[in-house]
Amino acid sequence: MIDLDHFKRVNDTYGHLGGEIVLKQLANILRTNIYPLDVPARYGGEEFILLMPNTSSRKAVTAAEKLCDITRKCNWKVSAVEKVVITASFGTVTFDPYAPIDAGELVKRADTALYAAKSQGRNRVVCWDEVDLDEKPVLHEQSEISELQKEISSLTEKVHNQDMAVVS
């Protein structure tokens, strides 16, 4: 799960049009820096998810660290003349087919890892395996989680069936 750090400031300073320009730039970063079978998807606001089939936890963290670095170094434009500095926080979790969990639990773990990245200072990657479970996570509203669960289930099924047509 990916969340742009302090994105509210972008919207407050440059308006929602400036925010949308930044979100489109992030979408482009994701599309151009992932493998063909990886599936990026926007999850409301400034959050995105990235499904990476057949990827180990170590490789997922490495990929997220690369994306975090690219995000930090990007020349973010909010208009033709104005540039801003944008960073992102990443929470990773790996689905283990030998210890399966449902989509809802997968989302909760990714969200908890993302929250840990934010609470550790933002602009970083935290893997679910590194999360202190005694720390209370801030989760999304149940309706948002349910919507994302449906999207993840659908995308996971497509990945599983290797039916990776254009995802819009």
Q: At what angle do helices 57-73 and 7-32 cross, to 10 degrees?
A: 120
Give me the helices (H) in 33-162, please: 57-73, 103-119, 142-160
Given 20, 46, 130, 144, which residue is catalytic?
46
Strands 76-77 and 47-51: unpaired
* Annotation marks residue 46 as catalytic: yes
Q: Which residues contact 156 (CB under 8 A, 6 or more apart)?
A: 51, 95, 103
* Residues taking part in catalysis: 46
